Amino acid sequence: MASRIGEMVVECEDPEASAAFWSAALNYRITDRDETGVAIAGHPTAPTILLIANREAKKQASEDPLRPQPDRS
């Protein structure tokens, strides 16, 4: 059985600006917005990206949880 990622949630300080940037970069369109953030989507099989407002977003990158990590034991 195949599966896919349906949605990705990204916390950011300015969801409108982030949505404008990522929509242009990925050829997505804004599909919804409310007081919590903005949703953008592309092809129906591509994941929807939810850009959620977080005024205290981290300034440094965290480790990518989808990237394989070396065993640290």
> Mind listing the pLDDT tens digit of every residue in the chain (73 residues)?
778 889 999 999 999 999 999 999 999 999 999 999 999 999 999 999 999 999 775 666 566 555 555 666 5
Question: pTM above the 0.75 mark?
Answer: no
Compute the Cα dihedral for 25, 26, 28, 32 and give only its sign.
Answer: negative
Q: Give the Å distances, CA to CA, from 32 to 46, 62, 63.
A: 16, 27, 29
Give me the architecture of the 7-53 domain, per CATH.
2-Layer Sandwich (3.30)
| Residue ranges covered by each domain of the chain | 7-53
